[in-house]
Amino acid sequence: MGQLVDRGVNILVFPEGERSITGELLPFRQGLGIMAKELDVPVVPIKISGLEKVFPRGASWPKQGIVRVEIGQPLRFGMESAAEIVEITRKSIEAL
């Protein structure tokens, strides 16, 4: 990940580690916070709604439907712990 960031590549992370069956947010894993802290990169909160209907888990091909993507303002962190970064990010996504 560090090499990608050094080359200017943006990394897309799904902090839950899997797609939700119901569309509700699942618990976030700590990897998001560790990467943001160690790589000193901002986190852009993105909320994807409707994907569970258009491309449900286990499906091999998406169905026609509406998926909504909301993008929040970048979050920049300083002295926060990895766990705090994860919690702040989750709250930002929930607020979208």
pLDDT in tens, 30-79: 999 999 999 999 999 999 999 999 999 889 999 999 999 999 999 999 99
H or E element at residue 82? helix 82-95
Question: Whole-model pTM?
Answer: 0.88
SS (H, E, C) 6-53: HCCCCCCCCCCCCCCCCCCCCCCCCHHHHHHHHHCCCECCEEEECHHH
Number of domains making up the chain: 1
Q: 15 lies in which domain range? A: 2-95
